[in-house]
Amino acid sequence: MESHIFRIALAGNPNCGKTTIFNSLTGTRQHVGNYPGVTVERKTGICRIGEFKAEIIDLPGIYSLSSSSPEEKVAFQELLNGKIDLILNVVDASNAQRNMYLTAQLTELDIPMLLAFNMIDDAAKQGLSFDFEKLESFFGSPIVPTIGFSGEGIDELKSAIKQIALERIPQHPVKPKYGPKTDEAIRALTAGISELNLPETKRIPARYFAIKILEDDPEICLRPDFEPFCAEAAVWRDQISARNGISSRVLMADVRYGVIAGACREAITVNNERRRQLSDVIDKFVTNRFLGVPIFLFMMYLVFQFTFTLGQYPMDYLEMFFGWLGDFVTGIWPEGQGEFLKRLIVEGVIGGVGGVLVFLPNILFLFLAIAILEGTGYMARAAFVMDGFMHKFGLHGKSFIPMLLGFGCSVPAIMAARTIDNESDRKTTMMVVPFISCGARLPIYSMLIPAFFAIKYQALTMWILYVLGIVVALGCALALKSTIFRGEGEVFVMELPPYRWPTLRSIFILMWEKTSLYLQKAGTLILLASVVLFVINTFPEKTEFSRNYADEIATVQKSALSEEEQYEKISILNAEQKSEELEYSIAGRIGKKLEIVMKPIGFDWKVSSALIGAFAAKELFVAQLGILYSVEDFEAQEDSLQSALQKTYTPLQGFCIMVFCLLTIPCVATMAVVKRESNSWKFMLGQIALFTVIAYIVTLAVFQVGSLLEIGTKVVVPESTQVTAVNKDSDKL
């Protein structure tokens, strides 16, 4: 049995088809996580070639081995410390010259390498043909042409991997010559580094570290072992700059580009009748300064239509399933035994986790639609189109996608921010995305807007809330980028890959990866939050009530009322008893304490108490108000709840409640994802503080100004509700 697993690092530029190659080699035998301390995704998989087994590490998409981004840093660390046996370098054959800059750097590592010239069909459509024998002699590595999305060349790739692993054929790539003075500096630094006998130089040649120090790479220069050579390298850099008129880093990059260009001239030919790519024709419209944004908005409209139309049916079935599951557990539970445990399971576990899992179809279909758009190459165009607008608020063009996803759910929106390379832009985006009004806030709006506003103002009120969330998000982004997250703005250089049909396999693998992350990051913590919420709403248990509810219920049961009337009266009595229990519970007592602080923004203890549940999930705000206002089934008795709210609060207070729910702390699932993606408790707690302060200040301003100007300060029942009330009275008469 082999004691060593053959380890392959899969490297390549973004959009070179690396993920498709990875999926083709590993299938479903994959593991997805994050590199320690950063949000860069780490993917590994097992590739089986007969009895031969290899582990493939999918490195982040990078353009070079510098340390200018988190992706480049973790890629280099993996190559340095990961005991890599082979580098499988995926090259976009249709853009080979640009892609091979990374290849030239990889040859400096002296790790055996195999090149996959992917998308060879796209290259052929452009009229490109290759002399692979010449390219192999230049890089000292075998080359296999592939078409990742169709699987063509994958078997040949596997055979080449197995041959390299078993035969251990030495490779002799051509090393660039950087000029007399530069080569002299490299030799001097290499000699000094070699004398240290560092563990790193047993895997990577000392010459590579000498080159990185001469390029003033921060990741290498900050290592204590290499610190003595930094001063020496600075002297060499001054001499090189004086001799050539440019820095050593620019000079060495120019040399690499030069030798690659020479190799391409020798080994790549272009037919005279080069066909114009269909991508260029489409991009004339899609990236047009006038048409780009409307086309993008239309595409996103289709995405949301697709998500919510198809997601509604499985959501309904999931709701029915969890309702049945709760009834089933209640039905089989022995009467009078372990009542607390039964309630914990039914209300806390099944109700809490079920409340999250019912949204799984929407999440799944949303990621499916995004995976299709990413696979076709469209999402890269969307970020490109929106870059100019986002830069006005200190954000990156890639920030627009997470903010757009925020209208559906903040959890996938936060996760989508990991595509932003610049750390300050990524953190800023993660910080402000929850200001965007997500779907979970809709039940709150749907309850309060009809209760306090006439029909002609309802659409306007909803529009104001959505616009307010966007304005606050962009304003905070501008403030954060000017202060806490100040940093160099990243130049938006995005690869625009050619349009292509993505494979079903790659789409579903990507969809499942994202969906499983949602379950892992949100579902487990929702379970804990639901249990905690159940406990604070239950204890301490109230034993003495203002009325004898048991006797009153017994009286109703013995009365001559019809079954329907008895059920209605008993439901009201049960709800009133629950309201007293909640007021006596930890949550109710907290609400009483919070009322002191919340009174200036127009909130009483009941609204304050309901906000505690909203932290677990925004929808719980409506449910708790239903309990507080003696409405047992608030969905069936929506008019009763709205009527109760109308008698207690003014339209100004109703609007302030919605503003506060819009801007206040996001749900616990969002906070959990923020913690995981930022890898920082400090960041998450800072976000909680930011949202709390902004929500309070904005709501305070709205309520105080509205009160001063006497806008919406009188209890006015909207016309639609008056009609409903009259109809109800008519029924009673």
CA atoms of 48 and 185, how far apart (whole Å): 44
Domain shared by 21 and 68, yes or no: yes
Range with lowest mean pLDDT among 293-302, 337-346, 387-396: 387-396
Domain shared by 60 and 197, yes or no: no
- Which one has a higher pLDDT value, 653 or 539? 653
Would you say residue 115 lies in a domain?
yes
pLDDT at 664: 92
Would you say residue 535 lies in a domain?
no
Q: Which of 176-180, 479-483, 534-538 has the highest mean pLDDT?
A: 479-483
The answer for residues whose C-beta is within 8 angstroms of residue 678's C-beta and 6 or more apart is 39, 427, 430, 684
In the block, tokens 């248990």 appear at 541
Domain shared by 190 and 145, yes or no: no
CA atoms of 646 and 450, how far apart (whole Å): 10
pLDDT at 231: 86
| Predicted confidence (pLDDT) per residue in 478-498, tens digit | 999 888 887 655 545 455 666
Q: Which of 110, 134, 167 is the last residue of a domain?
A: 167
**Number of domain units in the chain:** 2
- Which one has a higher pLDDT value, 409 or 324? 324
Rounded to the nearest integer, the mean pLDDT of the chain is 80
Would you say residue 725 lies in a domain?
no
| Predicted confidence (pLDDT) per residue in 208-260, tens digit | 889 988 988 887 888 888 888 888 888 888 888 887 777 788 888 878 887 78
Domain shared by 86 and 111, yes or no: yes
The answer for residues whose C-beta is within 8 angstroms of residue 255's C-beta and 6 or more apart is 176, 177, 178, 179
Which backbone phi and psi does 492 adopt, to 5 degrees? -85, 90
Would you say residue 252 lies in a domain?
yes
pLDDT at 704: 95
Q: Which of 141, 167, 193 is the last residue of a domain?
A: 167
CA 586 to chain centre: 34
pLDDT at 154: 93
Domain shared by 21 and 90, yes or no: yes
Would you say residue 54 lies in a domain?
yes
CB 86 within 8 A of CB 13: no
pLDDT at 723: 37
Which backbone phi and psi does 599 adopt, to 5 degrees? -60, -40
pLDDT at 260: 84
Would you say residue 592 lies in a domain?
no
CATH of residue 259? 1.10.287
CA atoms of 514 and 408, how far apart (whole Å): 15
The secondary element (H helix, E strand) that includes residue 42 is strand 41-49
pLDDT at 671: 86
Q: Which of 415-424, 542-551, 652-661 has the highest mean pLDDT?
A: 652-661
Residue 443 tokens, joined: 């039940």
DSSP helix/strand/coil, 92: strand
| Predicted confidence (pLDDT) per residue in 345-381, tens digit | 887 677 666 655 666 776 688 778 877 887 787 877 7
Domain shared by 53 and 90, yes or no: yes
CA atoms of 433 and 437, how far apart (whole Å): 9
CB 661 within 8 A of CB 619: no
CA atoms of 255 and 537, how far apart (whole Å): 69
| Predicted confidence (pLDDT) per residue in 276-301, tens digit | 456 667 778 887 878 887 887 788 77
What length does the chain have?
Answer: 733
Range with lowest mean pLDDT among 103-112, 372-381, 460-469: 372-381
From the number of C-beta atoms within 10 Å of its C-beta (0-12, 13-18, 19+), residue 142 rates as: buried
Mean pLDDT of 633-640: 43
Q: What percent of the chain has pLDDT over 90?
A: 18
| Predicted confidence (pLDDT) per residue in 665-703, tens digit | 888 778 888 988 888 899 999 999 999 999 999 999 999
CB 272 within 8 A of CB 214: no
In the block, tokens 């072992």 appear at 225
From the number of C-beta atoms within 10 Å of its C-beta (0-12, 13-18, 19+), residue 195 rates as: exposed
Instruction: Tell me the residue type at 332.
Output: I
Output DSSP code: residue 454.
-
Would you say residue 46 lies in a domain?
yes
Domain shared by 156 and 186, yes or no: no
CA atoms of 529 and 525, how far apart (whole Å): 6
Would you say residue 127 lies in a domain?
yes
Range with lowest mean pLDDT among 36-45, 56-65, 100-109, 592-601: 36-45
pLDDT at 241: 82
Q: What percent of the chain has pLDDT over 70?
A: 82
Domain shared by 18 and 132, yes or no: yes
- Give the residue numbers spanning the domain of 37: 6-167
Domain shared by 41 and 128, yes or no: yes
- Which one has a higher pLDDT value, 497 or 516? 516
Domain shared by 138 and 38, yes or no: yes
- Which one has a higher pLDDT value, 523 or 570? 570
CATH of residue 120? 3.40.50.300
Q: Which of 236, 270, 304 is the last residue of a domain?
A: 270
Domain shared by 80 and 196, yes or no: no
Domain shared by 67 and 45, yes or no: yes
Instruction: Tell me the residue type at 364.
Output: L
Place 63 in a pLDDT band, splitting at 50, 70 and 90.
confident
In the block, tokens 């009895």 appear at 51
Range with lowest mean pLDDT among 26-30, 377-381, 621-625: 621-625
